[in-house]
């Protein structure tokens, strides 16, 4: 059987509707019972089987809605943890690593999650060779020495949540 999911607002509206219907059924029962013969004024109100069935159905519906809200809350917390751990803070800093090589082909790129953890990638382009470095970042810091450019890429990534591309 396919599982249905509803938004929190939809579930709240459904719960309020269920409560309203239950209250309306109770009102009809009280109004209908007041005109019955044999009932003493001020005596107890007797719920007939139909009303009990309606109220029980409403109670069951409310219970299902509460379970659905709890399930949605669990899913929301899980997704929040996944989002916080995803790479969302990116900065790319392009520069000339050597005076005799132009075109800003060297770069440092920081790829970090919301806690400031991830990696900074650096590519140093020279005339004869290209070197690539990857250094881990934890909470905005690295156990490896960072170059000025790598440090700047990390700072830029942590300062804005969206992708930042800057040339120096």
| Residue-range domain boundaries for the chain | 8-84, 89-167
Q: What pLDDT shows up at residue 10?
A: 80
Question: Residue 124: CB partners within 8 Å, gap ≥ 6?
Answer: 97, 106, 130, 131, 132, 133
Mean pLDDT by 10 residues, the chain (168 residues): 68 80 76 56 66 86 91 90 87 88 87 93 90 94 93 90 48
Q: What pLDDT shows up at residue 147?
A: 94
Q: What pLDDT shows up at residue 163?
A: 44
Judge whether 152 and 165 are in contact, CB under 8 Å.
no
Q: What pLDDT shows up at residue 162?
A: 47
Judge whether 154 and 120 are in contact, CB under 8 Å.
yes
Judge whether 132 and 159 are in contact, CB under 8 Å.
no
Classified as helix, coil or strand, 41 is coil
Tell me if the pTM is above 0.85.
no
Q: What pLDDT shows up at residue 151?
A: 94
DSSP state of 127: S
Label residue 142 left, alpha or beta by phi (over 0 means left) and psi (-120 to 50 means alpha): beta
CA angle 132, 138, 142 (to 5 degrees): 50
């Amino acid at each position: 059987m396919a599982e249905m999911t509803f938004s929190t607002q939809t579930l709240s509206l459904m719960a309020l509707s269920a409560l309203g219907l239950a209250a309306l059924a109770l009102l009809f029962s009280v109004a209908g019972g007041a005109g019955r013969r044999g009932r003493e004024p001020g005596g107890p109100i007797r719920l007939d089987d139909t009303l009990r069935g309606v109220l029980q159905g409403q109670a069951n519906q409310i219970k299902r809605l509460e379970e659905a809200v709890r399930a949605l809350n669990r899913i929301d917390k899980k997704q929040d943890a996944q989002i916080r751990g995803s790479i969302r803070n990116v900065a790319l800093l392009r520069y000339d690593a050597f005076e005799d090589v132009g075109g800003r082909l060297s770069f440092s790129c920081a790829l970090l999650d919301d806690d400031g953890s991830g990696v900074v990638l650096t590519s140093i382009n020279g005339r004869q060779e290209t070197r690539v470095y990857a250094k881990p970042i934890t909470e905005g810091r690295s156990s490896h020495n960072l170059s000025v450019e790598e440090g700047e890429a990390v700072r830029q990534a942590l300062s804005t949540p969206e992708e930042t591309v800057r040339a120096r």
